[in-house]
Each structure stands twice: as structure tokens, then as C-alpha cells.
Amino acid sequence: MKILAIICLLLGLSALGAALYCHMQVIPDMEGIDRMTRGMDLDDPRYAPARALWFQRESLKTTLDVITLIGSGLGLIGGIFAGVKKAKLGWIAAVISVIALVVGLLQSTHMFS
């Protein structure tokens, strides 16, 4: 069970890292692009680079959100299972995974918007 707890801890930490990177780097970049393109006709071919950059950041945000939600969900389930089987590290993994899951859900459901 200790190996499961360590794996779940690593899953939770990586999910938390992806969530924090998305929240601190990708979302402000998207807001900057939104401010820059306000009033532009993005269907115009002259603004194709701005449109491509926005689509790239949106795709990165979606990918990081999915990684966060799946990784933290698996880390939470495995951490609880390991914690019930008397591995104290499992409860730590579960707590970290819950934090990552909450941050991922807040970003995915646009509660920060």
C-alpha cells in the first residue's frame, strides 16, 4: 500500500502543478490576448496570427484542465484506498489531490472568470 500511496502522491502533486501552471501562466496569457484583440474582426485574414495564438492557448488550457481533473481524481481515489489500508501517506496524497481537484474544477467551470 505504501507504493500505491507514493504513486497517488505523485499524481496529486503533478495535477496540482498543472493546475497552478494553468492558473498562473496560461489564463493570464489568454486574458492578455482577449484585451489585445478586443474590437478586432478575427475573421479577417490579417488577424490570423492572433487567432492562432488564442486557439493554441485555449487548447493548452483545456489539456491542462483535463490532466488536472483526471490526475487528481485518480490520486484522490488511490489515496483514500491507501489511507484506509493504514498508509498515512495515502491521506496526504488524498488531501493534495482534493486541493488539485478543487482548483481544476474552479478553472474548468470558469468560476475565476
> What does the pLDDT look like over 32-89, one tens digit per residue?
877 777 777 767 787 778 788 888 988 999 999 999 999 999 999 999 999 999 889 9
CB under 8 Å to 68, separation ≥6 — which residues?
A: 15, 16, 18, 19, 22, 100, 101, 103, 104, 107
Residue range 8-30: average pLDDT?
A: 92
In a domain, 20, yes or no: yes
Residue range 27-35: average pLDDT?
A: 82
In a domain, 14, yes or no: yes
Residue range 9-20: average pLDDT?
A: 95
In a domain, 48, yes or no: yes
Total-model pTM: 0.84
Range of the domain at 90: 2-108
96 vs 27, more confident: 96
Give, in order, the Cα–Cα distances in Å from 99 to each of 17, 40, 59, 112: 11, 38, 23, 15
In a domain, 102, yes or no: yes
Please state, in angstroms and rounded to a whole number, the distance separating the CA atoms of residues 74 and 88. Answer: 17
- Within the chain, strands assigned E span none
Total structural domains in the chain? 1
In a domain, 100, yes or no: yes
Residue range 18-33: average pLDDT?
A: 88
In a domain, 113, yes or no: no
In a domain, 30, yes or no: yes
